[in-house]
Structure 1
């Protein structure tokens, strides 16, 4: 069992709930899970703890969207994502804990600032591209490996494709489910799926599954623009704290 304080367990529950809310329709909320946990443990351990929670939470999404996804988009992005995961694995022993902490903070800060200040996306529709898919898939795979934060590069590639809402949600679910299942191999090889992490993940998984149910209902009743604004500012604050922690 992980040796966490009461505050540490509170943050772990919040992180697990964030994963579930993301799978329940409040996309991007899951990005905050590893940065939050990194306040009380190393980001490497935080990522290892949350991966089983992600994998189990993905199962419901795969069942729900088993017939709704765009194979062309997946075919252009998955090869790059696998390469990005491989790069993350290859560099895992090279980058020190402080470096990983900085990367997690920097990814979160860049996403938050981009979400707060970026101009509206152009209206013109793009088609899936092997070049763009490989590039953004690689970045998504790498950031997903480091801190389960692959959503921003993925959105940069997929949003201009203007997929129907159901196909967009299903394609996104399948993309990250595949990434998460593949990540089990390097995470296990690096010792991040320790008995302590798996035990804690088993405790937190019901929280995540309940949050999936809550997310499916909250997405229909809350002003999403305000909700995402609050989440984005929270992610920016946590990310800046991690950057300061790494540099200090």
Structure 2
């Protein structure tokens, strides 16, 4: 069984993943790995988090089934697959710290540009094939390397200002598919251990509770506040990535 000290940090992380996935499109889920990294090596933390992410995605699928934006997914998924393949082939060759720092800086700059330009108050942006392919490719890559795939996806989807349930559902099915794909290379690379899998299983009930709680909270906020929270999540994740990888 997992050590109680590890579970003391892992359970809040799993709850945060569930709330973020279930109600805010994963905006705050990137904070989970750093919580676990306080009590275990980052690579071990990533191996624990991946099955938890899959559980959260699958649980959220039941709430948001077929509410996603098909046009965006057709743009995003091919790019993400390429990004995962690149991450698999270059595993261990590139600096995780440098990648995390770059993504953190970009996320913060994107948030600040939104404030300066008043992007929240402008009309919605149409899906753009090149932008979507590049950012979803970056998401697949950074998701594989450090479970930091959220910021690139947020940067692509937030300007579209789509209805909040459609936004969450699109993020849900996107990450459900790419996290499931990541299970194969993670297994082949020997990332999973008996201890990591037992820890992930122990967190199952917590992440399910978090998804339910996130869905409940999402129903309590309007469209304006939903996007404010999502953008704040992007800022917090970007800041966390910078601090973690400084």
CA contact (8 A) 2:127 2:160 kept: yes
The residue aligned with 1:79 is 78
CA contact (8 A) 2:83 2:138 kept: yes
The residue aligned with 1:242 is 244
> Structure 1's 162 and 25: CA in aligned 2 closer, same or farther, altered over 3 A?
same
Residue 104 in structure 1 maps to residue 72 in structure 2: no
**Counterpart-to-counterpart distance in 2, 1:10 and 1:56:** 19
> Structure 1's 164 and 113: CA in aligned 2 closer, same or farther, altered over 3 A?
same
The residue aligned with 1:23 is 21
Q: How far is the alpha carbon of 1:77 from its aligned partner? A: 0.9
**Counterpart-to-counterpart distance in 2, 1:72 and 1:233:** 27
Deviations along 1:207-247, one digit per CA (max 9) or x if unpaired, are 11111222233345588789779867765664444224xxx
Q: How far is the alpha carbon of 1:108 from its aligned partner? A: 4.0
**Counterpart-to-counterpart distance in 2, 1:137 and 1:176:** 10
Residue 14 in structure 1 maps to residue 16 in structure 2: no
Larger displacement relative to structure 2 (127-136 or 235-244): 235-244
Question: Which residues of 2 match residues 30-109 of structure 1 at below 5 A?
Answer: 30-95=29-94, 99-104=95-100, 106-108=102-104
**Counterpart-to-counterpart distance in 2, 1:206 and 1:241:** 30
> Structure 1's 115 and 61: CA in aligned 2 closer, same or farther, altered over 3 A?
same
Q: How far is the alpha carbon of 1:198 from its aligned partner? A: 0.7
TM-score, structure 1 as length reference = 0.82
The residue aligned with 1:142 is 141
**Counterpart-to-counterpart distance in 2, 1:79 and 1:236:** 25
CA contact (8 A) 2:54 2:179 kept: yes
> Structure 1's 16 and 213: CA in aligned 2 closer, same or farther, altered over 3 A?
same
> Structure 1's 81 and 232: CA in aligned 2 closer, same or farther, altered over 3 A?
closer
CA contact (8 A) 1:34 1:43 kept: yes
Larger displacement relative to structure 2 (169-178 or 158-167): 158-167
Q: How many residues get paired?
A: 239
TM-score, structure 2 as length reference = 0.83
